[in-house]
Amino acid sequence: MASPAETAAMARAVELAARGTATALPNPVVGCVLLAPDGATVGEGWHERPGGPHAEVHALRAAGGRARGATAVVTLEPCAHTGRTGPCTEALLAAGVARVVVAVRDPWATAAGGAERLRAAGVDVEVGPGAAAAERVNAPWLLSVRLGRPYVTWKTAATLDGRSAAEDGTSRWITGEAARADVHRLRGEVDTVLAGVGTVLADDPQLTVRPAGGGAPGRPPLRVVADTHGRTPAGARVRDGAAPTWVATAREVATGPDGHLDPAALLAALHARGRVHVLLEGGPRLAGAFVREGLVDRVVAYVAPALLGSGAAALGDAGVRGIAGAHRLRLEDVARVGEDVRLTAVPLRPAPGHPRADGG
C-alpha cells in the first residue's frame, strides 16, 4: 500500500506530467518523482517532447547517486522497449531504485511489461495508486491507444441562448478577445484541428496557433477540413502554408448514410496518420454528427453574455428525439475568461475502453 509520502509524490507527478500537454504528443504525458528512503524528494522529471528523455530519466539525472535505494513514483508504467530512447526499466535498475509505484499500466503492447521486468529483477512494484488523476491527465493518449482513434475535444462558442451565429450568418465575434486567445491555447495542446467546409466557406478561418510558435516547437497542429465534395477554395486561409493542411473528401474517407464523411472513418484515417488529439471546431452539422456517434470525449464551451434569439444553433442534429435521450455531461470546470465563461465537461457514458469507462 502506498505511503502518505508516495501518495503526495504521485499527486506531484501528475502535476509534472501536465507540463508536457502542449509538447509531448504523439507521446504520452508522464511525470516521475524520486523519493529517498526517508521520504524526501531527490529527483523530479516529466516527458517534454518526442525523442527526448522520458520522465524517469530526467528524475534519475536530477537525483544522481541519491537514486540508489530510492522509490520511483511514476504516472505511467515505465517502458520496457527501445525506441528513440532506451528502456526506462533498465535506467531504473542501473540506478539502483528499490521500489516503483505506478499509477497506470501502459496499454501500448510495444512498451508494456515494465512492471514485470522490474519485479523479475527484484524491485518492489505497486500498481494503482493515483490512477484516476493519472488517467485524466493522460486521457488523449490513453484513449488513442485503447480505442485506436484520436481523442476528440469539441470546442464551441455560443451566446446565452445557444446561438453560434446570427440570423444573417455572421458569427464574428460572439466571444471576446480573452476567450479567443484561450482557444489558441487549446489549439496548442492538440495535434489536429478539424472544421467542416461550411465553417471554412462562412468564416474563412486560418485554424493556426497564434501567436506563432504556440504549442509544440516546430510542430503546428494539422489543419483538417471535412469537405465531402471538395468545395474548399484554393485561396482559403486554411490552405495558406502556415501549417500542414488536409482537405478530407469522399475520395479518401468513406461517407455515412447522410452522404457526408463518416466521423468514425475520418478519425480512423487520422489515427493512421499518427494523430492523437483532435480539436473539433465545428460547425453545427459536423459537431452534431460526432456527438450523435458518441465520438466526442470532452466539450469546451465558451458562453458569451449575449442574446440573439434566432440564427444557427451551436449544435446540429445529435440524434436526440426526446429528453430521455439527451447526451448528459459531467461538468469538470467552470472559469471566467474575460467577459465570457468557459465550461469544460465530459460525457457521463463514455465508450467502452475509454479512460473514464472504469470510473477513472
Q: What percent of the chain has pLDDT over 70?
A: 95
Strand, helix or coil for residue 155: strand
* pLDDT at 335 > cutoff 90: yes
Residues of the chain with CATH 3.40.430.10: 144-347
Fold of 4-137: Cytidine Deaminase; domain 2 (3.40.140)
Mean pLDDT of 64-72: 96
In eight-state DSSP terms, residue 255 is B
In eight-state DSSP terms, residue 24 is S
* Contact assessment for residue 236 and residue 247, using Cβ atoms and an 8 Å cutoff: no
Cell representation of residue 357: 469507462
* pLDDT at 83 > cutoff 80: no
d(CA 232, CA 197): 6
* Contact assessment for residue 330 and residue 303, using Cβ atoms and an 8 Å cutoff: no
Pick out the residues of the known binding site: 54, 79, 88, 157, 171, 173, 187, 199, 203, 207, 210, 228, 281, 283-289
* pLDDT at 96 > cutoff 50: yes
* 168-172, 173-177, 254-258: the lowest-pLDDT one: 168-172
Mean pLDDT of 105-127: 92
Q: What is the pLDDT of residue 354?
A: 57
- Mean pLDDT, the chain, whole residue set: 91
Q: What is the pLDDT of residue 216?
A: 54
Residue indicated by cell numbers 483532435: 278
Q: What is the pLDDT of residue 338?
A: 96
Q: What is the pLDDT of residue 218?
A: 57
What is the homologous superfamily of the domain 144-347 according to CATH?
Dihydrofolate Reductase, subunit A (3.40.430.10)
Taking the model in full, what pTM does it have? 0.91
Residues of the chain with CATH 3.40.140.10: 4-137
Q: What is the pLDDT of residue 80?
A: 86
Catalytic center residues: 56
Q: How confident is the model at residue 349 (pLDDT cuts 50, 70, 90)?
A: confident
Q: What is the pLDDT of residue 213?
A: 46
Pick out the residues of the known binding site for Zn(2+): 54, 79, 88
* Contact assessment for residue 130 and residue 1, using Cβ atoms and an 8 Å cutoff: no
Residue indicated by cell numbers 470510473: 359
Q: What angle do CA 194, 162, 181 make, to 5 degrees?
A: 50
Q: What angle do CA 241, 244, 249 make, to 5 degrees?
A: 110
Pick out the residues of the known binding site for NADP(+): 157, 173, 199, 228, 283-289
